[in-house]
Amino acid sequence: MAEPTPTTTTVPTPASEPSIPFSLTSHETALATPPPPSARPSLDRLRALYDKAYPKWPPHINLVYPFVRPEQLDEAVGRISAALQNEPGEGVKIALDSVGVFERAKRENTIYLTASDDKPLGELRGRVIRALGGEEGKGQRKYQMHLTMGQSEDAAAAPHKFLVEKVGRVPRVEWNAGEMAVLVRERGHGVEGGSVMRGERGE
Are 14 and 130 within 8 A, CB to CB?
no
**pLDDT above 80: residue 20:** no
The whole-number average pLDDT for the span 30-46 is 93
Question: How many domains are there within the chain?
Answer: 1
Q: Which residue has the higher pLDDT, 2 or 155?
A: 155
CATH number of the domain within which 180 lies: 3.90.1140.10
Q: Following DSSP, what letter does each residue of the chain receive, concatenated?
A: -PPPPP-------TTS--SS-----BTTEEEEEPPPGGGHHHHHHHHHHH-TTTTT----EEEESSB--GGGHHHHHHHHHHHHTT--TT-EEEEE-EEEEE--SSS-EEEEEE-S--HHHHHHHHHHHHHTT--TTTTSPPP---EEEEEES-TTSHHHHHHHHHHHTSPPEEEEE--EEEEEE-TTS-EEEEEEE--TT--
Is residue 15 one of the residues assigned to a domain?
A: no
In a domain, 77, yes or no: yes
Per-residue pLDDT at 64: 94
Q: How far apart are CA 98 and CA 169, in angstroms?
A: 10
**Residue 16 — very low, low, confident or very high, per pLDDT cuts 50/70/90?**
very low
Residue 83 domain-assigned (yes or no): yes
pLDDT at 3: 43
Residue 7 lies in a domain: no
Distance between CA atoms of residues 137 and 123, nearest Å:
12
pLDDT above 50 (res 39) = yes
pTM of the model: 0.78
Burial of 57 (0-12, 13-18, 19+ CB in 10 A): buried
Nearest-angstrom CA–CA distance, 188 and 166: 30
Using one digit for the tens of pLDDT, what is the confidence trace for 101-144?
Answer: 999 877 899 999 999 999 999 999 999 999 999 876 665 678 89
What's the mean pLDDT when you consider all of the chain? Answer: 82
Q: Structural domain of residue 165, as residue ranges?
A: 29-197
167: in domain:
yes
Kindly report, residue by residue over 49-89, the tens digit of the pLDDT. 999 999 888 899 999 999 999 999 999 999 999 988 877 65
Label residue 202 by pLDDT band (50, 70, 90).
Answer: very low
Q: In this structure, is residue 48 part of a structural domain?
A: yes
